[in-house]
Amino acid sequence: MKTKKKLHWTPVTIAQAVVTGLTLLFLLAPVVQMVLTAFMKNAFRGPKAGWTTDWISKVLELYGDTIIRSLGIAFGTLVITILIGVPCAWVLVREERRRWAGLLEEALILPLSIPGLAIGLGILLIWGGWGEFRQSNLFILCGHVMFCLPFMVRSVVAVLRVEPIAAYEEASATLGASPFTTFMRVVVPVAMPGIIAGGLMVTTVSLGEFNISWMLQTPDTRTLPVGMADAYASMRLEVGSAYTFLFLVILVPLLTLMQSLPERIRRRMAEKRSK
């Protein structure tokens, strides 16, 4: 039976606790204030003015389409990055000793080092003249896929590189499985922790991505972050805060999953292997 170790408070640990507490206060105080403002009848009068949910209703009325659109784009980005990123990661791991594999990996992560505005400008210069495509949500989806794909590739590569994937594939081929069957029933399950981690990261990044979305948007294709900026710029402070509150309601559960789910999957896989 394990016993919990008691924490011995020394001047060093006390100082560490104080610094940690002050840091958390510094980070969380604006968020708490924003949440409170979202439910205040009048932000300038403060709690004395009373509380209301009217601002939440107003955001859903004025910007509900941006929330639905962002969720759809995030889901589309997730599906496409999985379909492209997992095979790419598998190839990179299998061929990592070849020079072209290193160049390909660098090319795939290049969008992370380029400002979103520059990526958006490049997409505009190449495909901006395609009228119907330019006016559709697919235009923004392309930008999100380009920006988010490296997160999926790197997450899956990190998992596959610590597994004896070549031995698994060889065993599968010895049993008569086709390359496609081996990929779907061996590689994908082994890579699942990376797919889950990468998928959650892709979803959260896509939902919160502003620069590319702002560069590529039209009045009919605004996304959640762009709508949030518009709410703060042209509406009451309470409306912008309510919009941000709804954004957190969507984003915080995803961030929680991103922290806990991959580790749970690794534990379950380790337990299955040990049986």
pLDDT band at 30 (very low <50, low <70, confident <90, very high): confident
217: pLDDT strictly greater than 50? yes
Residue 21: inside a domain, yes or no? Answer: no
Percentage of the chain modeled with pLDDT above 70: 93
82: pLDDT strictly greater than 90? yes
The 10s digit of each residue's pLDDT in 244-268 is 888 888 888 877 777 777 667 667 7
Distance of alpha carbon 66 from alpha carbon 111, whole angstroms: 25
Residue 58: inside a domain, yes or no? Answer: no
The residue range of the domain holding 178 is: 69-235+246-274
Average pLDDT over residues 42-70: 86
Distance of alpha carbon 67 from alpha carbon 228, whole angstroms: 10
Residue 120: inside a domain, yes or no? Answer: yes
Residue 124: inside a domain, yes or no? Answer: yes
Residue 45: inside a domain, yes or no? Answer: no
C-alpha distances (whole Å) from 73 to each of 70, 129, 204, 205, 223 are 5, 21, 11, 11, 9
Residue 132: inside a domain, yes or no? Answer: yes
41: pLDDT strictly greater than 90? no
Determine contact, residues 227/63, Cβ cutoff 8 Å.
yes
- Split into its structural domains, the chain has a count of 1
- pLDDT, residue 94, reads 83
**198 CB-near residues (< 8 Å, 6+ apart):** 81, 82, 85, 151, 152, 153, 154, 155, 156
Residue 19: inside a domain, yes or no? Answer: no
The 10s digit of each residue's pLDDT in 129-169 is 787 888 888 999 988 998 999 999 999 998 888 887 778 88
**23 CB-near residues (< 8 Å, 6+ apart):** none
Residue 8: inside a domain, yes or no? Answer: no
Task: Say which CATH number the domain at 136 has.
Answer: 1.10.3720.10
- pLDDT, residue 84, reads 93
The 10s digit of each residue's pLDDT in 90-114 is 888 887 777 777 777 777 777 777 8
